[in-house]
Every structure is written in C-alpha cells, then in structure tokens.
C-alpha cells in the first residue's frame, strides 16, 4: 500500500491536482463571468447555449494543460536529459519507465477536475437539463427533390421520435419564377404533421414537432415549387422522444475531453525519448491547443452537442475518437520500443 | 551588467512620462488589449460562426456574430449584415398569431444592437443609421402584419427619424438617398449565407427607395442595375455585363455566377 502511494501514478496524480486545481478554478470562474455577461446581453434575442461552448472549453483546456505540463516536468523519465532520470530508470524496470502510469495519473486527475465543471459549470452556462438522441437519417443514393424526382425515402430510426429537423441545400429555381418548394412529410405512409413545410433558401432549418411516433421509413414528397432541394448526410435529423439526463451527457463529454490529453502525452512521451523537456512541453501544449481549442479533436464537437441538448451517446462522436486513440497507442508503443532499445 | 539596470530604469521612466503626458483612456487600453486578443481568437470565432450557420439556429449564429463584433467594434458592415440576418431570419419565425410578435421582437433586438454599436462606429456611424432606417422597411415587407405594431407613421417614420439623425451627423443632401445604395452590401450578406429570398427582399426595397434619389438619371440607371440583379437571382437569363462593370455592385458580383 505504502509502495503504491510512492509509485509514479500516485505521485503524479497528487502533483497534477496540486498544480491544476487553482488554475482550473480560476479559468472556470473567469469563463462563468464572461459567459454571464454575454448571456445578459443576449437575453432579448433568446437562449443560445451552443454559443457558450468556448467558455466551457477554456477551463477544460487549462485543466488539461496544467495537468499534462506538471506531469511531464515532474516525472524525470518523461523527457531526455532530466536530472534524476538515471535513479528512476533503475527503480522503474518497466518498458515505459513509469510513463504509462504517469499518463494514467494525468487522465485521472483531469477527470477528477472536470467533474465539478460538468456538475456546476455546464448547467450555469445554460446546458439543457435533459438531452435527446438525434438520429441522422442516411440519405438515398440520389438525395434530390426536383421536377424529375418528387419522392425520397429514408430509413427511420425505428424508435419513438418527437421532432424532425430538415435542413436541405437549395439550387437555383427551375423555370423563370422562384416559387418555394412545398413538401409532404410521411412516416410509414402516414402524414407526420399538418404544418406546411416549404423551403426557398439553402440551409433553411425547418423543425417539425409531432406526437411521439416510431417509424421505420420517412417519405419526403415534393408537392409543388421550383426550388430543387438536395438532402446530403445530416440534412434530415429525427429527434428521439426519450429524454436523457443532461448531467450524464456532461460526464460523457468530460470523458471525451481526455482523448486529446492522452494523444498529446503519448506523442510527448515519444518525443521525450530524444528531446529535452522544453521541446516535449511545447509539443504537448501545441497538440492540446489544436485539439481542444482549435477544433481538431472530438472535444469541441462534444461540448457543442452537449450544449445544444443532444445526447452524446447517439451520435458518431465516440467512433470519431478512434483515429486519435490509435495514433496515441502507436506513439506509446513506439516510445516503449525505443526506450527499451536505448536503455533509457 | 551595469548597463541593463540603467536601460531598464530609463525605459520605465519613459513609459511613466508617456503615461503622464498622454494618459491612456479606457478605450485606448481596450483597443490595445484587442490587438492581442484578435489574432488569438478570431480564427476560432469565425469557424464557430460558420458551424452555427450550418448546424445551429439563428440565435446561436447571432450570439457568435456578437462575439466576433466585440473584437471588431468598428466593423459597421458586419453589424449591419448580422443585424439584418437576425431580424429577417425565417428560422426564428413562430406559427400563427405569435409570428408577428416574434418579428417585432427580432426587429427591436436588432435595432437595439445597432444603436449600441453607434458609440464605437466612429466616422461610419451614419452607415449604421442608414441600415437602421432600412431595416424596419425590410421587416415590414417580409411581415406585413408588423406595421400595426410599429409606432405611428410605421416604418417610414422610424426611417425618417434615423435619417434625420444621420443628416445631423453628416450634413449632406446625399445621406437620405444613400440608403438605397446600401442595398447591394446587405443583399450580399444574405447571398453569402445562401439566402436568395432575403437578398431579393433587400434589393426590392432598394428599388423602391431609389425614388428618393434626387438625380433622376442616376436613379433610373441604378434601378435598372438592381432589376437586372433581381431577375438573375430569380433564375432568368440576363446580360450582367453592365452590373459587373458597375463598382457600386461589386459586393454582389461574386454571387452572380
């Protein structure tokens, strides 16, 4: 027990919490302040929690950066030419020289720091209390409604849904006059709504609320109008009837926020085989910045989905993490092989 | 070693003297801070705006636009385009009787936002006032029931009030008629978002406003250009050579392919 408390995991975990708690809390308070000011300004226009993602991403980034930075500079075997590294390498006989435990400790510390953000900051920034699954209906091979093709059939989710969101792209009108295209929407052959559905501009969003209905096939029929409509992937979304707790959604987002940190530390660990700590820290910081604020990783889209009240479990965000996880795993394996070969 | 403290002391003294001789205002300090904030945040703010346009709703897009314009407070064209987009967005329209109320609320929010932007617009304040004069007319054309909710005199009275303020700021006979010449800029904002119908609404209003142009030859020629653009946007085959050669139509040209 005592040995475990003095192992790389426990030591790094404590170090990360000591280094990152205050900066994360400060960043969270600053974000809350700025977001509150912006929300006050926007009060007349309406709620737009999706626009507040920046202010949840900032404390997450601070937590990840301080945890990763403090761990990388703390553990002597993480980078080349560190004082005390020889002692650590003698004691840590594993192929990664304790770096695997260090990475694990950083991820655990970040998750612990992010829990209060999910519990307190997300609701304070306006994240909906419940989330609904959003099912993107796959389009047929030629997803166009025009004078030549007036009917589209899309497979439904087969689960109870309460809303349909249509956002097609529009082409220039066929013929001399621009007449909005009107659609009939049917689920399993039954009209879904009595509301008129018409489109005249590209990217126009139409929401069709209806009583909870489970359907296996959705039909979109062009009734009249001269505007050809194109329904690419994502243009037809069914909103599930089941409401999931927003808190669970927030926790899933915090799990996804660990992926950029894992990737950054894994690549940092690989660089550390032959690079000194300033280089390693720069690589880690840049990778975290690009993934968490630059929108390259799953973190940004996950936060956006949470703030818009969409259930994370239903989308494709978790599968989108596989490339990052794969790259990180390969980097860790390479680091292991290179460290074993070099004896460091 | 001895020179460094001396140089540092001299630099500090110079800074102190500069501060005493020319004390910075809060606006100067804010602008100074914005120099650093802009390059660090604008690329992400723009990509977030594009994401909101593609997948979010109009309020989210409006919020993102406001975040961008906090960093660019003197960009009056941006204020005009985003305010018009919010005021006229059909995606926010309600069904039934609430539709007119919502249109009125959107117009009020957009006008209040433009009013707020006047303080930082500097010499381009008149352009904001011209947009504010233009916007109620656009909103009423789109939602005719809105006229009943506007103060006595309707959109024309509101436009007159803002144009009178613009004339007071820039005593110039052309201020009132320049409102029609802002049409292409505002329409380009809608075309950039793929919103052909709102662009046509703006251009039709600009055509109607062209009667206020004092020089009738100029008004006729201007109207002709606008009509050609409208016909093209409605899908008719039109020779656009004159439009492309007209520098006043430059904002629209990229969208007339």
pTM of the model: 0.79
* CA distance, residue B3 to nearest chain A CA (Å): 30
Instruction: Give the pLDDT score at A105.
Output: 95
Is B53 in Cβ contact with A201 (below 8 Å)?
Answer: no
Tell me which residues of chain A have a C-beta less than 8 Å from any C-beta of chain B: 38, 41-42, 44-48, 50-51, 53-54, 169-170, 172-178, 180, 195, 200-206, 226, 234, 293-295, 304, 308
- ipTM at complex level: 0.75
Helix then strand count (H, E) for chain A reads 11, 12
Provide, as residue numbers in chain B, all residues whose Cβ is less than 8 Å from the Cβ of A176: 234-236
Is A44 in Cβ contact with B91 (below 8 Å)?
Answer: no
Provide, as residue numbers in chain A, all residues whose Cβ is less than 8 Å from the Cβ of B106: 45
> pLDDT class for B25, splitting at 50, 70, 90?
confident
Instruction: Give the pLDDT score at A327.
Output: 94
The answer to whether the beta carbons of residues B87 and B110 sit under 8 Å apart is yes
The arithmetic mean of pLDDT across residues B217-241, rounded, is: 87
* B91 vs A38, A173, A204: nearest CB: A204
- Specify the DSSP element, H or E, that contains A246: helix A246-256
Tokens of A329: 């795993």
> pLDDT class for B91, splitting at 50, 70, 90?
low
Q: Decide which of B257 and A2 is more confident.
A: B257
Counting one residue from A and one from B, how many pairs have CB atoms under 8 Å apart?
A: 95
Provide, as residue numbers in chain B, all residues whose Cβ is less than 8 Å from the Cβ of A55: none
* CA distance, residue B178 to nearest chain A CA (Å): 28
* B236 vs A176, A195, A304: nearest CB: A176
Instruction: Give the pLDDT score at A112.
Output: 96
Place of tokens 């993602």: A53
Instruction: Give the pLDDT score at B94.
Output: 61
Cα distances (Å, whole numbers) of residue A225 to A154, A179, A200: 21, 5, 9
* CA distance, residue B235 to nearest chain A CA (Å): 6
Q: pLDDT tens across B159-207, in order? A: 888 888 888 887 777 777 777 788 888 888 888 877 788 888 889 888 8
Provide, as residue numbers in chain A, all residues whose Cβ is less than 8 Å from the Cβ of B33: none
Which sign, positive or negative, has the C-alpha torsion A214, A215, A220, A221?
negative
Q: Does the beta carbon of B60 lie under 8 angstroms from any beta carbon of chain A?
A: yes
Tell me the β-bridge partners of A166.
A206, A236
CA-wise closest residue to B131 among B147, B161, B111: B111
Given a cut of 50, the residues of chain A with pLDDT beneath it are none
Q: Which residues 6+ apart lie within 8 Å of A77 measured at CB?
A: A85, A88, A89, A92, A97, A98, A99, A344
Place of tokens 């994240």: A127
The answer to whether the beta carbons of residues A198 and A180 sit under 8 Å apart is yes
Provide, as residue numbers in chain B, all residues whose Cβ is less than 8 Å from the Cβ of A50: 52, 56-57, 60, 63
* A177 vs B47, B54, B234: nearest CB: B234
Instruction: Give the pLDDT score at A317.
Output: 82
Q: Does the beta carbon of B56 lie under 8 angstroms from any beta carbon of chain A?
A: yes
Cα distances (Å, whole numbers) of residue A293 to A57, A300, B69, B175: 7, 7, 20, 44
Is B197 in Cβ contact with A205 (below 8 Å)?
Answer: no
Tokens of B139: 């909103």
Burial class (CB in 10 A: 0-12, 13-18, 19+), A279: middle
């Amino acid at each position: 027990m005592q040995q475990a408390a003095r192992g790389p995991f426990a030591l790094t975990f404590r170090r990360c919490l000591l280094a990152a708690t205050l900066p994360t809390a400060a960043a969270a308070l600053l974000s809350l302040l700025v977001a509150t000011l912006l929300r006050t300004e926007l009060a007349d226009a309406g709620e737009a929690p999706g626009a507040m993602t920046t202010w949840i991403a900032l404390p997450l980034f601070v937590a990840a950066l301080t945890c990763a930075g403090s761990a990388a500079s703390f553990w002597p075997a993480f980078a080349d030419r560190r004082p005390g590294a020889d002692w650590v390498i003698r004691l840590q006989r594993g192929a990664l020289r304790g770096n695997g435990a260090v990475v694990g400790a950083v991820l655990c510390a970040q998750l612990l720091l992010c829990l209060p953000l999910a519990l307190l900051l997300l609701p304070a920034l306006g994240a909906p209390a419940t989330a609904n699954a959003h099912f993107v209906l796959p389009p047929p091979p030629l997803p166009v409604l025009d004078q030549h093709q007036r009917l589209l059939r899309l497979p439904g989710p087969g689960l109870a849904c309460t809303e349909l969101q249509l956002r097609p792209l529009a082409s220039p009108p066929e013929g001399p006059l621009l007449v909005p295209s009107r659609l009939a929407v049917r689920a399993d052959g039954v009209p879904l709504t009595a509301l008129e559905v018409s489109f005249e501009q590209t990217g126009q969003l139409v929401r069709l609320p209806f009583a909870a209905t489970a359907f296996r096939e959705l039909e979109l029929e062009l009734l009249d109008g001269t505007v050809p409509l194109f329904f690419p992937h994502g243009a037809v979304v069914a909103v599930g009837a089941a409401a999931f707790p927003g808190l669970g959604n927030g926790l899933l987002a915090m799990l996804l926020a660990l992926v950029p940190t894992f990737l950054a530390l894994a690549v940092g660990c690989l660089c550390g085989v032959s690079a000194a700590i300033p280089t390693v820290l720069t690589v880690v910081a840049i990778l975290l910045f690009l993934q968490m604020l630059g929108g390259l990783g799953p973190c940004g889209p996950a936060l956006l989905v949470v703030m818009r009240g969409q259930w994370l479990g239903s989308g494709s965000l978790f599968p989108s993490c596989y490339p990052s996880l794969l790259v990180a795993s390969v980097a860790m394996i390479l680091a292991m092989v290179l460290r074993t070969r070099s004896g460091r | 070693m001895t020179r460094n403290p001396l140089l540092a002391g001299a630099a500090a003294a110079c800074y102190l003297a500069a501060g005493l001789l020319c004390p910075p205002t809060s606006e100067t300090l804010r602008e100074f801070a914005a120099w650093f904030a802009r390059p660090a945040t604008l690329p992400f703010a723009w990509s977030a705006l594009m994401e909101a346009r593609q997948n979010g709703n109009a309020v989210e897009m409006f919020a993102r636009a406001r975040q961008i314009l906090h960093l660019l407070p003197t960009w009056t064209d941006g204020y005009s385009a985003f305010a018009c987009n919010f005021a006229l967005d059909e995606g926010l329209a309600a069904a039934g009787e609430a539709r007119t109320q919502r249109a009125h609320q959107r117009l009020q929010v957009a006008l209040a936002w433009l009013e707020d932007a006047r303080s930082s617009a500097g010499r381009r304040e008149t352009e904001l006032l011209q947009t504010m004069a233009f916007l109620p007319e656009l909103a009423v054309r789109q939602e005719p029931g809105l006229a009943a909710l506007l103060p006595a005199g309707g959109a024309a009275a509101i436009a007159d009030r803002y144009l009178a303020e613009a004339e007071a700021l820039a005593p110039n006979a052309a201020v009132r008629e320049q409102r029609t010449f802002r049409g292409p800029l505002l329409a380009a904002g809608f075309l950039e978002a793929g919103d052909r119908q709102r662009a046509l609404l703006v251009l039709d209003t600009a055509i109607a406003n062209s009667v206020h142009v004092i020089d009738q030859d100029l008004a006729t020629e201007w109207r002709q250009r606008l009509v050609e653009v409208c016909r093209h946007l409605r899908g008719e085959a039109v020779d656009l050579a004159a439009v492309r050669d007209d520098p006043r139509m430059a904002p629209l040209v990229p969208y007339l392919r």
